[in-house]
A = this chain, B = another copy of it.
Amino acid sequence: MRVLGIDCGSERTGYGVIESDGVAHRIVAAGAILTNRKSAFEQRLAVIAAGLRALIQQHSPETAAVEEVFYSANVKTALKLAHVRGIALLAVAEAGMSLAEYSPLEVKTSVVGYGRAEKCQVQQMVRSLLFLPEAISSEDACDALAVAICHATHQATNERFARVGALR
């Protein structure tokens, strides 16, 4: 399956597209959509929307995954992020793709095997799981790849369970 992971942010929205059978993953594309700090917020949202649409059209992922919004840190930041997240969910829905949401804990548990893993551990595991010669330099792209890997793994596990259930 081809999975798009999105790491929402008003300044940088990370993305990662992987091809996966749920066990072995291969990177297709990764990067970040950058917006101009000086632009009006709604113009930045338009840049993110256009970027995501182009990405979906180019790589045709079947399913997408985003992190759940968490608001422990700063409500103002979380609200800004939620605007961007709205744009991401819209792009996914309008492309007719399925969507999954995972908590940061679920992503880290899935990728590193430990829910309280450090950023660098996630980076290291993303690199290792995708057989990359070096770590992904963009933190946003790396987070997006991590949520994509998490989704691919969950999806494959669910499908296996469904098959086992059907055999009974």
A135 within 8 Å of B by Cβ?
no
Question: What is the minimal beta-carbon distance from A60 to any residue of chain B, in angstroms?
Answer: 18
Beta-carbon contact of B94 and A49 below 8 Å: yes
A41 within 8 Å of B by Cβ?
yes
Counted per complex, copies of this chain come to: 2
Q: A40-B99, A71-B75, A75-B71 are in contact. Are A86 and B82 (CB under 8 A)?
A: yes
Which residues of the other chain, B, contact A129 by a CB distance below 8 angstroms?
Answer: none
A1 within 8 Å of B by Cβ?
no
Within 8 A of B (CB), among A74-91: 75, 78-80, 82-87, 89-90
Q: Which A residues lie at the B interface, using CB under 8 A?
A: 40-43, 45-46, 49, 69, 71, 75, 78-80, 82-87, 89-90, 92-94, 99
